[in-house]
């Protein structure tokens, strides 16, 4: 076995022990659910070559430890091995295998949010995200893959330890250049691929047994289809693999050279990069130096334009599309129309990785390649300039998303912002760290409110807004907007204590700078706070005042949100104007073609219709809303729909069905980290309906039905809510007031 492992930390591991010195595993697993999504994992191990032994060893170790870290030098293939293992063992983890890419994350404070996002969880609650993660994973047999942890070793270690203690059936597979050093951790050193012995002739059949040679041949055949290993090139290939110390990334980069050079020429050029090449020097040369030489050589193979683009695209975090590369990287010697050809050239040379997702093509740099490009950019003294270009692109992107929010592109923008969040984080980090850039960070964080709210990232939004507000205390429209957006996020988390001071400051600032739109927003969100606290008359009064201001300014986003809030407030207050406000809100969303916003108008109208006692129409409206919300995986919106459908079932004399829906709604609330108890306008009705159902069914029957609903997956609960027939009220029919 080529791999070397080190198991340490006998005794207290990060979870219940099994007596072996490592945390124990359960004997039985729950069966996988056929309707669960693909769990975030790309299919297939991505062309893994020569790692059969390591795959087997990692799988064996995951059967006896709950934290395994793959370590090794840069370019050795830790990430590819981890993803190959993740694909191989997915059947062992019925609750999912969840890869999380850590390399693009600069702020350690956002690590829990990044993991929550990978798991599809919404960061909605005011409580710490790590608690949400722990609760979500507590009963699940799942594998969490933390990839590229080396720059955040301590935060990754702390998070892994806390999650393993909270979730006794969870396993964590990490990749890092060094161990996490958590008690109970098993460490597997990932070696280079084995290479032929030097100074010895081998037949092609013998050479093909060496993993390094097999990888070179596979990648060479991809670079030039006519390549084949034979007596005429076997010795050269063997020497080349040995010269590259069996490092997979170095071998892949070298194989690309066969498009233009013979194997002997590739070896000759690599020899020059690795000089002095004497035996003593080669024996003491570090693998880091070998990889560096291979990347240097790959850089030299590129045209001047490709080298320039390689350096410039290093400012992207995560991945990017062609349009982004054109907008950020063109100019100063690179024409926009040439970017496509340059990107294609870098893909051909294995510098850029091309990925297709949902019919869209995106590109990314492996972390080692990205760092090399950034180093080249630093050498030109232009890192800040190109990061500023990247920042400007991100700012334009989020502004465009905000301007086009109430349009048919609403769902498209939700997906686009989700795809670009790593780049937006990088831009916000640049604004935080670079002198004089705080105002730009304020503008980006505030304009990103559609993502923070609709994408379920309230906590992360408040994180960035809080930092930007501290760094840019000067009066201005940008600060006023950031204040009301931050207050909005806090209110949605039920954090009134934080929202009120923000709104007070926002109002005072608006009066000082005489900016009416900011004052209108401060007034509206004061009304929203009153709504969430159950003071419906005050909410109606304040939001109506804001609605008039939005109409005067022609602010369609403001009009839509105000109409939605007024429909809710009037419905819960028994005010008949709820119908007019709700119908106007729905008509506005339908005229704009904004389907996600339309679902919220439908839900508010459904709430009003339920209060009037029209159970059938209320059910139809809320189900219509639910279809859109679940299609975009809006967990919070789905929970709201399940909640009201439970209320309509209680009104319709179907207590067992209502109890099941209430259990499903509560499970969904828990998954989002939120709860109706945090909002007084919902909490009172929720508690009243639950009490009624318990009284009608009896405590034991109610608990059984509630648990049955809570056990359903989100897909199952949604399907049950959408397809259950609406029956005529029976003897349990209740009044509209619940």
Q: How far apart are CA 482 and CA 443, in angstroms?
A: 7
Q: How far apart are CA 405 and CA 597, in angstroms?
A: 9
Do 496 and 529 touch, CB atoms closer than 8 A? yes
For position 634, what pLDDT does the model report?
82
Contacts of 205 (CB under 8 A, 6+ apart): none
Mean pLDDT within 351-360: 89
Q: How far apart are CA 532 and CA 675, in angstroms?
A: 12
Q: How would residue 678 be classed by pLDDT, with cut points 50, 70 and 90? A: low
| Encoded tokens for 184 | 């109970």
Query: Would you say residue 282 has pLDDT above 50?
Result: no
Q: Where are the beta strands (DSSP E) in 358-413?
A: 360-365
223 or 307, greater pLDDT:
307
Short-list 541, 546, 521, 517, CA closest to 531: 541
Q: How far apart are CA 589 and CA 572, in angstroms?
A: 22
139 or 352, greater pLDDT:
352
Percent of the chain with pLDDT over 70: 89
Query: Would you say residue 388 has pLDDT above 90?
Result: yes
| Encoded tokens for 53 | 């032994």
Q: What is the pLDDT of residues 392-418, one digit of tens each?
A: 999 999 999 999 999 999 989 999 999
Do 584 and 558 touch, CB atoms closer than 8 A? no
Q: How would residue 201 be classed by pLDDT, with cut points 50, 70 and 90? A: confident
Do 652 and 615 touch, CB atoms closer than 8 A? yes
Whole-Å CA distances, 472 to 114, 397, 447, 477, 480: 26, 22, 16, 12, 11
Query: Would you say residue 725 has pLDDT above 70?
Result: no
For position 598, what pLDDT does the model report?
96
Q: What is the pLDDT of residues 505-527, one digit of tens each?
A: 999 999 999 999 999 999 999 99
Four-residue CA torsion sign, 467, 472, 478, 482 = positive
Enumerate the H helices of 208-286 as residue ranges: 211-223, 234-243, 248-256, 263-273, 279-284
Q: How far apart are CA 439 and CA 714, in angstroms?
A: 40
Short-list 565, 564, 556, CA closest to 586: 564
Q: Which DSSP letter does residue 71 get?
A: E
Q: What is the pLDDT of residues 612-668, one digit of tens each?
A: 999 999 999 999 999 998 888 788 889 899 999 999 998 888 999 999 999 999 888
For position 45, what pLDDT does the model report?
36
Strands 360-365 and 352-357: antiparallel
Question: What DSSP letter does each residue of 368-426 carry, written as one string?
Answer: HHHHHHHHHHHHTT-HHHHHHHHHHHHHHHHHHHHHTTTSTTHHHHHHHHHHTHHHHHH
Q: What is the pLDDT of residues 206-262, one digit of tens each?
A: 999 999 999 999 999 988 888 999 998 899 999 999 999 999 999 999 999 898 889
178 or 136, greater pLDDT:
178
For position 734, what pLDDT does the model report?
32
Three-state DSSP state, 517? helix
Do 373 and 310 touch, CB atoms closer than 8 A? yes
Strands 319-320 and 360-365: antiparallel
Query: Would you say residue 38 has pLDDT above 80?
Result: no
Whole-Å CA distances, 692 to 521, 574, 585, 630: 39, 20, 32, 28
Do 290 and 248 touch, CB atoms closer than 8 A? no
Enumerate the H helices of 404-476 as residue ranges: 410-419, 421-433, 438-447, 449-454, 458-471
Q: Which DSSP letter does residue 143 get?
A: E
Q: Where are the beta strands (DSSP E) in 48-127?
A: 67-71, 97-101
Short-list 117, 3, 733, 29, CA closest to 424: 117
Q: How would residue 594 be classed by pLDDT, with cut points 50, 70 and 90? A: very high
Do 604 and 637 touch, CB atoms closer than 8 A? no
Do 359 and 385 touch, CB atoms closer than 8 A? no
Short-list 493, 521, 525, CA closest to 509: 521
Contacts of 562 (CB under 8 A, 6+ apart): 524, 543, 546, 547, 550
Lowest mean pLDDT among 112-126, 193-207, 671-685: 671-685
Mean pLDDT within 332-349: 95
- Residue with the two structure tokens 């006519």: 226
Q: What is the pLDDT of residues 92-123, one digit of tens each?
A: 999 999 999 999 898 999 999 999 888 877 77
Query: Would you say residue 543 has pLDDT above 50?
Result: yes
For position 679, what pLDDT does the model report?
64
Query: Would you say residue 48 has pLDDT above 90?
Result: no
Q: What is the pLDDT of residues 426-470, one digit of tens each?
A: 999 999 999 999 999 999 999 999 999 888 889 999 999 999 999
293 or 338, greater pLDDT:
338
Q: How far apart are CA 529 and CA 461, in angstroms?
A: 18
Mean pLDDT within 270-293: 66
| Encoded tokens for 611 | 């209060």
Q: How far apart are CA 499 and CA 507, in angstroms?
A: 12
Across the chain, mean pLDDT equals: 87
Mean pLDDT within 492-499: 89
For position 121, what pLDDT does the model report?
79
Percent of the chain with pLDDT over 90: 69
Q: How far apart are CA 132 and CA 118, in angstroms?
A: 13
Strands 171-176 and 143-147: parallel
First to last CA, the chain: 68
Whole-Å CA distances, 4 to 72, 178, 188, 336, 424: 11, 14, 6, 49, 39
Query: Would you say residue 321 has pLDDT above 90?
Result: yes
For position 736, what pLDDT does the model report?
31
């Amino acid at each position: 076995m080529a791999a070397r492992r080190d198991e340490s930390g006998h005794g207290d591991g990060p979870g219940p022990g099994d007596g072996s010195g490592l945390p124990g595993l359960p004997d039985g697993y729950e069966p996988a659910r056929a309707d669960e999504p693909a769990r975030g994992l790309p299919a297939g191990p991505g062309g893994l070559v020569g790692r059969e032994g390591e795959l087997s060893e990692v799988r064996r170790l995951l059967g006896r430890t709950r934290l395994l870290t793959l370590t090794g030098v840069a370019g050795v293939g830790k990430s590819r091995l981890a993803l190959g293992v993740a694909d191989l063992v997915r059947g062992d983890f019925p609750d999912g295998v969840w890869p999380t890419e850590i390399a693009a994350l600069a702020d350690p404070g956002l690590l829990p949010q990044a993991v929550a996002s990978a798991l599809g969880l919404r960061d909605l609650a005011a409580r710490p995200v790590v608690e949400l993660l722990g609760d979500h994973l507590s009963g699940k047999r799942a594998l969490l893959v933390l990839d590229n942890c080396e720059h955040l070793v301590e935060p990754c270690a702390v998070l892994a330890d806390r999650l393993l203690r909270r979730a006794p059936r969870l396993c964590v597979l990490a990749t890092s250049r060094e161990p996490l050093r958590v008690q109970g951790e098993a460490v597997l050193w990932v070696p280079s691929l084995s290479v032929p012995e030097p100074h010895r002739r081998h037949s092609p059949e013998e050479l093909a047994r060496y993993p390094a040679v097999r990888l070179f041949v596979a990648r060479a055949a991809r670079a030039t289809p006519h390549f084949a290993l034979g007596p005429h090139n076997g010795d050269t290939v063997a020497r080349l693999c040995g010269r590259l110390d069996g490092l997979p990334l170095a071998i892949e980069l070298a194989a690309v050279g066969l498009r233009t050079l013979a194997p002997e020429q590739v070896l000759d050029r690599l020899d020059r990069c690795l000089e002095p090449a004497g035996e003593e020097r080669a024996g003491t040369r570090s693998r880091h130096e070998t990889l560096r030489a291979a990347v240097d050589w790959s850089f030299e193979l590129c045209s001047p334009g490709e080298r320039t683009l390689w350096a410039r695209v290093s400012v992207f975090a995560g991945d990017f599309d062609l349009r982004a590369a054109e907008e950020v990287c063109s100019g100063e010697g690179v024409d926009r129309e040439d970017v496509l050809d340059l990107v294609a050239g870098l893909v051909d040379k294995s510098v850029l990785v091309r990925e297709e997702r949902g019919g869209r093509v995106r590109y990314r740099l492996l972390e080692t390649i990205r760092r090399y490009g950034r180093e080249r950019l630093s050498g030109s003294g232009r890192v800040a300039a190109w990061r500023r270009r990247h920042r400007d692109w991100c700012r334009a992107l989020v502004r465009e998303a905000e301007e086009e929010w109430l349009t048919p592109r609403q769902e498209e923008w939700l997906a686009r912002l989700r795809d670009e969040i790593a780049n937006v984080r990088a831009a916000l980090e640049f604004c935080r760290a670079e002198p004089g850039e705080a105002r730009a960070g304020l503008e980006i964080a505030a304009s990103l409110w559609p993502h923070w709210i609709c994408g379920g990232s309230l906590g992360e939004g408040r994180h960035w807004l809080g930092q930007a507000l501290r760094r840019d205390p000067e009066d201005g429209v940008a600060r006023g907007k950031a204040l009301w957006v931050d207050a909005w996020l806090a209110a949605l988390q039920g954090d009134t204590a934080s929202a009120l001071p923000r709104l007070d400051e926002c109002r005072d600032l608006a009066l000082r700078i005489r900016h009416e739109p900011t004052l209108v927003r401060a007034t509206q969100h004061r009304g929203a706070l009153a709504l969430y606290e159950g003071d419906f008359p005050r909410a109606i009064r304040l939001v109506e005042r804001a609605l008039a201001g939005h109409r005067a300014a022609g602010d369609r986003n403001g009009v839509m949100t105000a109409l939605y809030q007024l429909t809710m407030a009037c419905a819960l207050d028994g005010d008949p104007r709820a119908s007019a406000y709700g119908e106007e809100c729905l008509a506005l969303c339908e005229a704009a073609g904004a389907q996600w916003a339309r679902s919220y108008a439908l839900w508010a109208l459904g709430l009003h219709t339920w209060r009037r006692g029209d159970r059938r129409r209320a059910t139809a409206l809320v189900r219509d809303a639910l279809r859109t919300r679940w299609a975009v995986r809006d967990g919070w919106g789905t929970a709201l729909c399940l909640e009201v459908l439970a209320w309509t079932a209680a009104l319709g004399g179907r207590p067992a069905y209502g109890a099941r829906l209430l259990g499903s709604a509560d499970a969904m609330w828990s998954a989002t980290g939120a709860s109706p108890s945090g909002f007084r306008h919902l909490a009172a009705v929720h508690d009243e309906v639950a009490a009624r159902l318990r009284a009608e069914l009896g405590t034991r029957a109610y608990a059984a039905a509630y648990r049955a609903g809570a056990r359903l997956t989100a897909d199952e609960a949604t399907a049950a809510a959408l397809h259950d027939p609406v029956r005529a009220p029976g003897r349990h029919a209740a009044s509209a007031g619940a």
